[in-house]
């Protein structure tokens, strides 16, 4: 028996020794830029004529990596190789597959500082945010490994005389793993390891902005002993090869995390049965959010303000769980607004690798433009009370921005901005706050700060989100502690880091023998 799962402790990097160590790791990884990232198909490294650069969003002159770009023909070959590997991998004992995840976790622990530093450069995460992402990746490996031991025993069946019955969980086949860039190691690791530990083989297409971090995972799995062909790495633009991966008649499942629009497109396309296809594709999609924090009259306004600032501006608001709406009930509205604005003005904006910085850059040029456009929309829809402009030149910096007096139906109160922009919405009473809270197409995370037992109990029933937090912020879900995933247009209602997740990569076979 394995010892029970425990979350990997996160670090704060307050001690000088830790700060010294991360600075060294930063120098070490930066010395290798630009890294050359190949395709990996059946264990073979393949360079392509066409490459795409991933930049340091804090300093766009710095090229972090030059990634090979897979074509449709590369995807076809990877698919064939993966199905070949699947034949043997699916028959490896589940316990041995799980041990591979423990080994990968051990390697990540050893390489932690290097991984943290690389995230700072390629994704623009501050040290604490990057460290939390690496810790979460380790958590996924340790959690899913343990859950595989449980599922290896099969499902419970009822006994009848003269028959031996079992319910066995078997893998699906070959899947496409399509992650986003915002938790560049944790989400890639969670999605990939869940598929692999359950006995499937995969084609992993990393997000175009963070290929170097995703490639580390490929190397780590190789070092841990994963046979060639089980994890094939096919970096490429989603708009160029994404449809091909999804439409492929040999794709058995698609595991996607990303935006609403791409998720909907994948869901629709995957439903079409292609010539030669002999199954219905399974789609697991985790999508966006428009997450709200409600502050009730008489709540602890200081606590609420601290939670709101972290949830809204941590990693520049680029979390699916980020608070993008604050709903203030009655007198709470002004009390909290004032405190949040005051704390937001103290945030330090600058390069992610600088240990004194709270808010780094947004991920790329497209995000930068889109967020600045939303700030213009916000000027028409609300009263600007903090930020509202770009930050220093040279990187994709945007000031943490707050709009007050926003209508619940305004665009900035309905559309996912995915940046450091927060809308304050006034509610006259708790009923109205509840209606506003639920009044979007999304249903991912949300919080209520309140001292009213009645309101806390009511929120448990009526606030329709996959992850509801009471008297705490709506970000920083922990694997195993807060199984994560949303309702409605936030996805297919799955929960990562929870006891139901691995079943999404398995199918159950019932076997009965007359005795
Ligand atoms: P995105 O633009 O939807 O991209 C996600 C992935 O899909 C990327 O690998 C992208 O490749 C790929 N892709 C793009 N077009 C595709 C197509 N037609 N077919 C197949 N794949 C395609 O999302 P993002 O900007 O990376 O991430 C931010 C979004 O993710 C936000 O909406 C956020 O809320 C959501 N998110 C949700 C969760 C959750 O757990 N619910 C967690 C994290 C993030 P390229 O990079 O090459 O475009
Ligand atoms: Mg995108």
Instruction: Please report the beta strands in 391-492, taking only residues with DSSP state E, as ranges in sequence order.
Output: 401-404, 421-427, 442-443, 445-449, 467-470, 487-488
The answer to whether residue 148 sits within a structural domain is yes
Mutation test residue for ligand 1: of 54, 262, 287, 319, the one with most atoms within 8 Å of CB = 262
Residues 277, 310, single domain; the answer is no
Residue 270, pLDDT above cutoff 90: yes
Torsion of CA 27, 32, 38, 41, to 10 degrees: -60
| Number of domains observed in the structure of the chain | 2
The answer to whether residue 83 sits within a structural domain is yes
Residue 69, pLDDT above cutoff 70: yes
Dist CA 57 CA 397 (whole Å)? 8
Residue nearest to atom 9 of ligand 1 (CA): 207
Instruction: Tell me the pLDDT band of 1, cut-offs 50, 70 and 90.
Output: low
Residue nearest to atom 14 of ligand 1 (CA): 238
The answer to whether residue 457 sits within a structural domain is yes
What percent of the chain is predicted at pLDDT more than 70?
100
Residue 109, pLDDT above cutoff 90: yes
DSSP 274: P
Minimum-distance ligand 1 atom for the alpha carbon of 288: 34
Residues 354, 272, single domain; the answer is no
Segments in 225-364 forming alpha helices (H): 243-247, 260-271, 301-313, 332-345
Measure 257 CA to ligand 2 centroid, in angstroms: 11
The answer to whether residue 4 sits within a structural domain is no
pLDDT of 355 reads 97
Determine the average pLDDT of the residues in 419-443.
98
Instruction: Please report the beta strands in 458-499, taking only residues with DSSP state E, as ranges in sequence order.
Output: 467-470, 487-488
Tell me the per-residue pLDDT of 288-341, one tens digit each, with 9 for 90 and over.
Answer: 999 999 999 999 999 999 999 999 999 999 999 999 999 999 999 999 999 999
Residues 438, 504, single domain; the answer is no
Residues 246, 298, single domain; the answer is no
Pocket, ligand 1, Cβ cutoff 6 A: 178-182, 187, 205, 207-208, 237-239, 242-243, 246, 257-259, 262, 265-266, 286-289, 320, 416, 418, 444, 485-486, 490-491
Segments in 153-283 forming alpha helices (H): 186-197, 211-224, 243-247, 260-271
Report the chain's mean pLDDT, rounded to a whole number. Answer: 98
Instruction: Tell me the pLDDT band of 159, cut-offs 50, 70 and 90.
Output: very high
Residues 213, 326, single domain; the answer is no
Tell me the per-residue pLDDT of 342-396, one tens digit each, with 9 for 90 and over.
Answer: 999 999 999 999 999 999 999 999 999 999 999 999 999 999 999 999 999 999 9
pTM above the 0.85 mark?
yes
Determine the average pLDDT of the residues in 41-69.
98
The answer to whether residue 140 sits within a structural domain is yes
Residues 404, 461, single domain; the answer is yes
We report the CATH number of the domain holding residue 305 as: 3.40.309.10
We report the CATH number of the domain holding residue 259 as: 3.40.605.10
Q: Could you tell me how many residues make up the chain?
A: 515
The answer to whether residue 9 sits within a structural domain is no
Tell me the per-residue pLDDT of 180-200, one tens digit each, with 9 for 90 and over.
Answer: 999 999 999 999 999 999 999
Nearest to 441 by CA among 380, 486, 378, 377: 486
Measure 180 CA to ligand 1 centroid, in angstroms: 4
pLDDT of 367 reads 98
Residues 131, 250, single domain; the answer is yes
Dist CA 404 CA 383 (whole Å)? 5
Dist CA 376 CA 403 (whole Å)? 11
The answer to whether residue 417 sits within a structural domain is yes
Show the domain range for 58: 35-287+494-514
Q: Please report which ligand is nearest the Cα atom of 288.
A: 1
> 3-state DSSP call for residue 457?
helix
Tell me the per-residue pLDDT of 271-285, one tens digit each, with 9 for 90 and over.
Answer: 999 999 999 999 999
Residues 396, 502, single domain; the answer is no
Catalytic residues, by residue number, are 286, 320
Residues 75, 171, single domain; the answer is yes
The answer to whether residue 138 sits within a structural domain is yes
Dist CA 254 CA 431 (whole Å)? 39
What percent of the chain is predicted at pLDDT more than 90?
100
pLDDT of 383 reads 98
Minimum-distance ligand 1 atom for the alpha carbon of 496: 40
Residues 371, 236, single domain; the answer is no
Measure 262 CA to ligand 1 centroid, in angstroms: 7
Residues 83, 218, single domain; the answer is yes
| Strand order through the sheet with 253-257 | 44-46, 39-41, 231-233, 201-204, 174-178, 253-257, 282-286
Residues 315, 266, single domain; the answer is no
Q: Please report which ligand is nearest the Cα atom of 259.
A: 1
pLDDT of 2 reads 82
Measure 181 CA to ligand 2 centroid, in angstroms: 8
Residue nearest to atom 26 of ligand 1 (CA): 180
Dist CA 490 CA 479 (whole Å)? 19
Dist CA 510 CA 320 (whole Å)? 38
């Amino acid at each position: 028996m394995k010892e029970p799962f425990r979350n990997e402790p996160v670090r704060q990097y307050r001690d000088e020794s830790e700060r010294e160590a991360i600075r060294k790791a930063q120098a070490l990884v930066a010395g290798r830029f630009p890294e050359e990232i190949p395709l990996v198909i059946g264990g073979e490294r393949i360079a392509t004529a066409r490459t795409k650069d991933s930049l340091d969003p804090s300093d766009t002159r710095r090229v972090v990596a030059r990634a090979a770009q897979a074509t449709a023909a590369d995807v076809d070959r990877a698919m064939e190789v993966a199905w070949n590997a699947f034949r043997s991998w699916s028959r490896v004992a589940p316990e041995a597959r799980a041990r591979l995840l423990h080994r990968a976790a051990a390697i990540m622990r050893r390489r932690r500082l290097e991984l943290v530093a690389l995230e700072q450069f390629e994704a623009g995460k501050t040290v604490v945010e990057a460290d939390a992402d690496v810790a979460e990746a380790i958590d996924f490996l340790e959690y899913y490994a343990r859950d595989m031991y449980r599922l290896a025993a099969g499902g419970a069946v009822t006994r009848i005389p003269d028959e031996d019955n079992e319910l066995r969980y078997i893998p699906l086949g070959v899947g496409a793993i399509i992650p986003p860039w915002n938790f560049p190691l944790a989400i890639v690791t969670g999605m990939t390891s869940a598929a692999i530990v359950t006995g499937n083989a995969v084609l992993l297409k990393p997000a175009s902005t963070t290929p170097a971090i995703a490639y580390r995972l490929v190397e780590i799995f190789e070092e841990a002993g994963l046979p060639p062909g089980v994890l094939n790495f096919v970096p490429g633009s989603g708009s160029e090869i994404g449809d091909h991966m999804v439409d492929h008649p040999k794709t058995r499942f698609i595991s996607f995390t990303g935006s609403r629009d791409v998720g909907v497109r994948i869901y629709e396309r995957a439903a079409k049965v292609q010539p030669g296809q002999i199954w219905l594709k399974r789609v697991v999609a985790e999508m966006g959010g428009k997450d709200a924090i409600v502050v009730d009259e008489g709540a602890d306004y200081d606590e609420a303000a601290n939670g709101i600032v972290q949830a809204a501006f941590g990693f520049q608001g680029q979390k699916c769980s980020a608070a993008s709406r604050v709903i203030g009930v009655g007198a709470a509205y002004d009390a909290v607004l004032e405190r949040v604005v005051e704390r937001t003005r103290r945030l330090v904006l600058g390069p992610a690798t600088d240990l004194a910085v709270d808010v780094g850059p947004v991920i790329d040029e497209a995000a930068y433009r889109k967020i600045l456009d939303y700030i213009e929309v916000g000027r028409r829809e609300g009263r600007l009370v903090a930020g509202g402009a770009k930050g220093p030149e040279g990187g994709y910096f945007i000031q943490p921005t707050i709009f007050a007096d926003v209508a619940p139906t305004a665009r900035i109160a309905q559309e996912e901005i995915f940046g450091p922009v927060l809308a304050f919405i006034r509610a006259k009473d708790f009923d109205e706050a509840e209606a506003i809270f639920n009044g979007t197409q999304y249903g991912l995370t949300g919080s209520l700060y309140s001292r009213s037992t009645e309101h806390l109990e009511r929120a448990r029933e009526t606030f329709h989100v996959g992850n509801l937090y009471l008297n705490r912020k709506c970000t920083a879900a922990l694997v195993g502690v807060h199984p994560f995933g949303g309702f409605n247009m936030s996805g297919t209602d799955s929960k990562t880091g929870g006891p139901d997740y691995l079943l999404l990569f398995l199918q159950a076979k019932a076997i009965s023998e007359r005795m």
